[in-house]
Structure formats: C-alpha cells, structure tokens
Amino acid sequence: MAQEAGMFMVNQTIGSVLCCKCGILMQPNPANMCTKCLRSEVDITEGLQKHVVIVHCPECDTYLQPPRTWIKAQLESKELLTFCVKRLKNLNKVRLVHAEFIWTEPHSKRIKVKLTVQKEVLNRAILEQSYIVEYVVHEQMCESCTRVQANPDQWVAAVQLRQHVSHRRTFFYLEQLILKHNAAGRCIRIKQMDQGIDFFFSNRSHAVKFVEFLGKVAPVRYRNDKQLVSHDTKSNNYNYKHTFSVEICPICREDLICLPPKVAVSLGNLGPLVICTKISNNIALMDPFTLRHCFLDADQYWRTSFKSLLSSRQLVEYIVLDVEPVSSEVVVGGSRYVLADAQVARVSDFGKNDTIFSVRTHLGHLLSPGDNALGYDFYAANSNDIELDKYKGLVLPEVVLIKKSYEEKRQKKRGKPRAWKLRSLDMEVDNTAKGRDHEEKMNSEYEQFLRDLEENPELRFNISLYQNKEYQPSEMASVTDGEEVPSVPLDELLADLDLSDVEVEDDGMME
C-alpha cells in the first residue's frame, strides 16, 4: 500500500551476530550461541529414560500396564505408541513434540521409539532435540491365559443361552450377530447343547458384557448364581464360579400368536390373532387382517409372557388362484404390505377334492395368481390353546397366509452351491443322544435359515455374508429358470479373508 502511494519504505533486515563459542555468523538468540554449541553445552534429554522393560502376553497379544491392567495393542499401532510413551518417567519435564516407531525385527523383542522434545534452556532459549528409547519386551502370560494353559476346562463364568422351541433358527441368526460384533472374542470354550449354547469365560466381567450384548439383540431375561470354589482364610480371598442363565423369548419370526385378553386390551384391542414379523430387542406384532401393528420390548413381554399358537414347522403350502387388492400399500416397520382378498387351495388337495378357501392376507404386493404361498391351516387343525379358549364366539379364519413360497423354483437349483457363505463359531457339539435323524433335522433347519436370508433383505442387514470362491455361475441356468429365485446381490458380499494367503504374500515381500 505504501509503495502504491509513492511513499519511501526502509527495507527491514535481520541482523547477525557471532557465536560466543565458535565465532560463526548466526542469527541472534537469547543465548548468543549457535545450535551446535548450545547442544554441546546443554543436553535436555539428561535424566530421561532411554531403556524401558515392558511385559507382553504372547497368547492374547496384550501388554501389562502396571499394576494389573492388560492392554491389547498391535505392533506399530497408535495404541502401542500411546502405551510406550506413558511408560516413560520424567517426561513432564520437557515438551513432547513428536513420537514415531523405528523399524526393528519382529523377533528381536525390541521396540524402538524416536521422540522429539523441546525445553527452555539458557536465557529462555528453546532447544529441540530428538532421542531414541529402546523397549525390551519380556514374554509373560497374563492371569487368564495362565489359567487356561494350566487347565483349559477351568472357567470362572458361564453363560447358558437357551430358547425353548422346536428349532434352532434363532441360534443360527444369533451366531452370525456374535461373529460380526466379535462378542464372543473373550470366550475360552463354546459348547452346543440340546436347546441352546453354553459360553465359558475366564473372567466374570467378560460374561457380564456378553449378557449385555444379548440383551441388545434379542428379548431375553436372565438370572445369575455363584458357587464357592475355594477360600483362603489367611488372605480372606474367595474364588467363585458364576453362572448366568439367559432365556430367549419363545416367540420367533413368522409365528402365529393368540394374544391373551389382557395383553390385547393393553395394545388397543389388537388381534387377537397376530403374526410376528420381526425379532430384535423388540417383538414386532401385526394383525394380518387389518395391518395394525405394535412393538413389545423385553420388559413388556416377560411381564405377561405368552407362547405361539402355531410355529413355522406347521406351515402348509397353498397355491394362489386369485388375488384382489383391498387397500393401498402400507409401510410397517420398514416392510411393505398390501391388504388383499385371495382364493387359495392346498397343494396336497390337487387331484383329491376341489376345496377352495377365501382368505384376507397382508401379502397383496407379493402374490399373483399361480404363485405358491405358505400359511397356517385352521380348517384341518385341532388347536388346543388356553388363550384361544378365553375368546367366546371368536370366528377363526380357515387359512392365515404367512409368506410367498419359492419351493417349486428351488427344485431346479437343488444341489448347486450358493455365491455366498457364512462363517461359524468354533463350537463343541454335545454328542449325547444324537443320531442320524437329528443331523438331518439340523441340516434342513440350516438350509431354511439360508433361504430366509435370501428372501428377506432386512434379516441379512445386520450380518456379514462372504463370497464363495467355489461358486461358478452357470449361463444356462439364467436362461432356463424363468422367474428368478430370491438371492443375495453380489454388492452385499464381503471378500473372504484367508489368513494363510496373507502370510504367503508377506513372506514373498520379505524375500
């Protein structure tokens, strides 16, 4: 601005002085000494630790934070760098500017960290200096790993997860949720039981955290007990074994429920015949004849618990003869429904009789004439339910349709591998009273669970599906199949990480 106005400006220059030690020309500073002379006179790293010993557990890959805390950290991670810096004493006498790892051989049991610090020295001059701290890693197992190595069956806390139903579809889904969130990462043993799964932990706090996770993904209730194992009278120490008994509500998705009169009144005279459309930490119920719906949390359910009138194992296959929509599309809990009047006939009656049922269904957006559907048959069922008997004069529908069936189209693809797969927990199977029939039942239930994942995008929203390397798409299948069977889109699949492949690649890079 001054030059544009034609004013005379004096150029400002920085003066220089001679170092009082070596006499070289330099910019002035409060000490009047150059950087080399200042470092030779003052060492700001004096009194700081250069060698530190840290304790590492090779089994669980954790480091000991005295006195008894074990911190999990990977090599050259932010967590390990923070842990190493916090182990240094007298570091508050200087100002830490920067910290970074220096590469060392993984098997050398040495970790080197380069620190850059600043400190005021002579006449308030600020000196910056870098130095290296060497950490010597001593291998020592933590208490939980020592206990497991001494006796793998020695556990401190056990979580007994149970659901009193005739199938294991709920546990198949819970297994995938546990794997995705790594909720069972602290388990020392997992055992499959007849009506549930047992999880064993080496610490009570790990079991409590696992029970809290179950309460967030399913409507559960639990009770805990403890048993005295040993008692040291001198030190007054008690060793207990803790057991958590967790019960999942017996209501499952696609179950038909007859609500107790008190529950139906509290829900605004809903039902009384409703179907369960979704299970999470809440239970989603819907009246298939009016599309009215409600949500029950775990506390509301266990306060007045009820059971299913009919379960998915009692579904009967029907063929749709005619569909006439009654209402417009309605969104309930993220899912679309359309109320419609339909005429259906049992597939098993073909060639025997001409029995046709007129029903009202919530599947008007899915069904078309000629489609197959699964539903509950009240026409031939002999229902013996206490809650149903409390409703005097209740007219039961002949059929309640639950979902569309793709069984006829799946016959063409039977035996062919899927483009995706699931991972499973490392469980021990209880072999008591098992037979070939039980194995076939488990395989059929698991296959039905896989089909449910293909048909219901909401069901696979919270789980991880992986690409199947053995899958080879067939061009002829897409031409001859006609209408597509529900499947999982490829963009929803995750790449299956093979640890052996990663190790081979790392070895090749080192060579």
Per-residue pLDDT tens digits for 33-67 = 777 777 767 778 888 889 999 999 988 889 999 88
pLDDT reading at 504 higher than 60? no
> Alpha carbon 187 to chain centroid distance?
15
Going from the C-alpha of 315 to that of each of 350, 361, 377, 418, 444, the distances in angstroms are 17, 15, 8, 25, 15
Tell me the C-alpha distance between 244 and 228, whole Å.
15
Q: pLDDT tens digits, residue range 393-405?
A: 788 888 999 988 8
Of the listed ranges 352-356, 370-374, 483-487, the one predicted with least confidence: 483-487
Mean pLDDT, residues 81-91? 90
Dig out the tokens for 373 from the structure.
């559907």
Angle between helices 436-455 and 169-181 (to 10 degrees): 60
Mean pLDDT, residues 115-139? 86
pLDDT reported for residue 413: 65
Q: pLDDT tens digits, residue range 157-189?
A: 999 999 998 888 899 999 999 999 989 888 888
Tell me the C-alpha distance between 149 and 154, whole Å.
9
Long-range contacts of 265-269 (CB under 8 A, 24+ apart): 267/294, 268/292, 268/294
- Cis before residue 272, ω within 30 degrees of 0? yes
The DSSP 8-state label assigned to residue 138 in this structure reads: E
Q: Report the amino acid identity of residue 264.
A: A
pTM: 0.70
Average pLDDT taken over every residue of the chain: 83
Percent of the chain with pLDDT over 70: 87
pLDDT reported for residue 215: 92
Going from the C-alpha of 252 to that of each of 256, 275, 333, the distances in angstroms are 9, 10, 16
Residue 205 backbone zone (phi > 0: left; psi -120 to 50: alpha; other: beta): alpha
